[in-house]
Structure 1
Amino acid sequence: MSARMMEDGVYYVGSQDWDRQIFDELIPLPQGTSYNSYLIQGRDNTALIDTVDPEKAHELLKNLQELELKIDYIVSNHAEQDHSGSIPLILEEYPEAVVVTNPKCKELLKNFLFIPEDKFKTIGDGDKISLGGKTLEFIFTPWVHWPDTMVTYLEENKMLFSCDFFGSHMATSQLYSHENEEVYSAAKRYYAELMMPFRPTIKNNLAKISKRDIKTIAPSHGPIYSPVNEIINLYKDWISDETLNLVVIPYVSMHGSTRVMVDHLVDSLIKRGLVVKPFNLGHMDPGEFLMSLVDASTLVIASPTVLTGPHPLTVSNAYLINLLRPKLKYVAIMGSFGWGSRMEELLKGQLSNLKVEYLESISIKGLPTQDDLEKIDALADEILKKHESS
């Protein structure tokens, strides 16, 4: 994507990565991603807000050369390499520029990219730099989603360059969110995969930036928001303690027994008016699964045993759930075994970060009998009761 003027003196100079399929060797990217970089031209100085992933550095450089502007400041909101990785190249091309960032980000950039000490201008929370008719304010927003993260506010244009805050993994030729309504689903996926563990700090940082008059939010990934009310209200909902009447059931079945249990539970919950989302861990989209956890009240983990423990797919997903700390209220564990099981004990040990109430587990030897299916119906009754009382 070529350089595009957003407003007078404000340009988009980033890159769309249509082909990238995975992030951090972990997160699928069904819509690719973008690396958003912005150039702000004042009367006296020009600032580049973040750079791009090193693989797209040539595109950033081409866009900057198109504009034929000098660069005085390179603002680094966050040291992760998809934002900062092209800084060394930009410093080579614009040797008079200095990197403006906070102390934590500075130390990370020195470690990651070997940027020398004399190339930094270190700022504090709330500090400002005037470009001449354009004023940048730096607001520290730690743990959204790294300890070094900050955002940059352009006062005169009421624009917030929000780094990963409000981001979405989406490559698109449409620069603004109102041109592509899919962005809100992509933003929820992004929140689920990266931001969910940091709900308390996001609440604090959302309150902090809300003190500014914001007309436009320009994140480092995905489309730009203008107006901004919808994405801010969605974040307020996602970080709240409120949950929906939703039961999420991740499951694995090796020989069919656990699948019979899951199918029966799904039918039983639907008959009771609950919303249910089952996910076969061997075939699911991980992002869709994590998105469902943003709102769910209840998680039911269903697994067969492998050497008396939960199936490895169950283990890896339980580990991820524990890291992401969704705002679940209730968890139940059920499964089948052949000759012995420690599944309940092991899974509860893996989910130590969750502040939930555990419902009675169901452990079945072999195929479920009629008595076993009645136990599953009783679990459905208990889940309904819990949801109605919440």
Structure 2
Amino acid sequence: MAIRKLVKDIHSVGVIDWDRHLFDELIPLPGGTSYNAYFIEGKEINVLIDTVEEHYGEKLLDNLAELNVERIDYVISNHSEQDHSGAIPAVLDSYPEATVLTTKKGKDMLEKLLHLDDDRVEVVADGDTLSLGDRTLRFIETPWVHWPETMSTYLVEDEILFSCDFFGSHFATSDLFVEDKDEVYKAAKRYYAQIMMPFRKIITKNLDKVEELELDMIAPSHGPVYQEPDFIFDAYRDWVDGPVKPEVVVPYISMHGSTGELVDYFVDSLMEKGIKVTPFNLRDVELGQLAMALVDAAVVVVGSPTVLTAAHPNVSYAVSLANALNPKVEYASIIGSEGWGGKMVDDIVGSLGKLDLELFDPVISKGKGLEDDFAEVDRLVAEIEKAIG
């Protein structure tokens, strides 16, 4: 893998994973990813910031050897998750003088996840500094982006924030720095939607903390480096704290066409009102796209038939996912159908319990929709238009 220079004596030595298309056996990665690690050669102290997946450990060591790195004094672990910590044991074996620096919670997690020896790991606290002789590192605790132990490392003189997952993007690219802003924005938004959004209230506090820093670069551990930090910082502010947009997201599925007809009529009616609406057929939707749509939307309307008295399993999964992601959405409702009855509505409403929502009355037909059912869809459209118009 290519070694790239950020600035004098600072190199990206991580790995680009062009072929990875699923993370945690759950999260789609249509653009691959990278595991960024950064080597800083100080006048007196050398440090490696984060590592890579365990099975890419040899590639990381090859990069360090190509840079003629003979000594690493400290391995800084900003985040214990194995895509960043997995190669730490290999690095410690190759550089026996090295010590791991991490947060108190990070030390506990690294020792459990990687079975590191206690004497190879030291704890740093929020605001602690480390002199490299000619440069200074400051450690900044940024918990819940997206694990409880996470921190960022700030290189004071160069004004570079090594933020690990914070501000990251699952995006494999040969560019060291952000070149195509539109492409990176989409990748970063997907990353935020799928990984960071559940913790948006805590992220607000971390943004406030980072805002106090003078920043020339943000170097995350996934995706390219930001030479214009305001680009990603402003995006996060919008995603986390910004107002919802007058948009409607409609995850749905239909077995025999009844729910589908009502949803089609609903979508067309919203379009006629000039309201942006995005339907997602859960038969074959890529859930990352749904997660991204939920970042900004004011309204989610779930469409489901009734299966054995409950919501369709695909709907149950999508609703549970939406509940876990904790988007800013303000309004919700349900469109669906049933044959001989059931508790489909109760099932869906119960699964949305984490969200602070206003619920519009659902539209539920008995089999194929009749005139009264379509009139109820009109009523729902009018309520949505009043709420967000």
Normalised-by-shorter TM-score class: over 0.9
Task: Quote the offset at 1:148 in angstroms.
Answer: 0.3
For these two proteins, the number of residue pairs brought into alignment is: 388
* In 1: Cα distance, 2:3 partner to 2:175 partner: 13
Residue 85 of structure 2 aligns with which residue?
84
Q: Which residue identity lines up with residue 13 of structure 1 in the other structure?
A: V
Deviates more, 1:175-184 or 1:376-385: 175-184
Counterpart position of 2:327: 326
- Aligned equivalent of 1:65: 65
Runs of 4+ in structure 1 off by over 3 angstroms are none
The equivalent residue for 1:220 is: 221
Q: 2: CA distance between counterparts of 1:180 and 1:62?
A: 31
CA contact (8 A) 2:330 2:358 kept: yes
Query: 8 Å contact 2:4–2:176 — kept in the other structure?
Result: no
Q: Please list the CA deviations of residues 84-133 of structure 1 after superposition, one character each: whole Å capped at 9, or x if unmatched.
A: 00000000000000001111000000000000010012111000001111
Once the two structures are superposed, residues 309-334 of structure 1 have per-residue CA deviations (whole angstroms, 9 ceiling, x without a partner) of 00000111111111111101100012
Match of 1:19 in 2: 19
Residues 32 and 169, structure 1, Cα contact 8 Å, conserved in 2: yes
> Aligned-pair RMSD on alpha carbons?
0.9
Pairwise CA distance, 1:41: 0.9
The answer to whether the aligner puts 1:134 opposite 2:155 as a matched pair is: no
1:276 maps to what in 2? 277
Kept after mapping to 2: 8 A contact 1:47/1:73 = yes
Report the counterpart of residue 375 of structure 1 in structure 2. 376
| Alignment match, 1:165 | 166
Give runs of aligned pairs for residues 1-390 of structure 1, distance below 5 A: 1-69=1-69, 70-179=71-180, 181-388=182-389
Q: Aligned equivalents of 2:258 and 2:208: distance in 1?
A: 49
Whole-Å Cα distance in 1 between the matches of residues 181 and 237 of structure 2?
A: 21
Given residue 63 of structure 1, which amino acid in structure 2 is its aligned partner? Answer: N
SS at match of 1:348: helix
1:180 deviates by 5.5
Could you report, residue by residue, the CA deviation over 1:58-90 in whole angstroms, capped at 9, with x for unpaired residues? 211111001112111000001000000000000
Instruction: Give the deviation of 1:305 after TM superposition.
Output: 0.5
Residues in 1 aligned to 2:55 and 2:260: alpha-carbon distance in whole angstroms: 44
Contact 1:178–1:226 under 8 Å retained in 2:
no
Amino acid across the alignment from 2:4: R
Task: Note the C-alpha offset of 1:179.
Answer: 4.8
Q: Distance in 1 between matches of 2:55 and 2:286?
A: 26
How much has 1:341 moved relative to structure 2? 2.2
Normalised by the length of structure 2, the TM-score is: 0.98
8 Å CA contact retained: 1:247, 1:299 = yes
- Residue by residue over 1:234-291, the C-alpha shift from the partner in whole angstroms, topping out at 9 and shown as x without a partner, is 1000011510010000001011111101100000001111000000011111111100
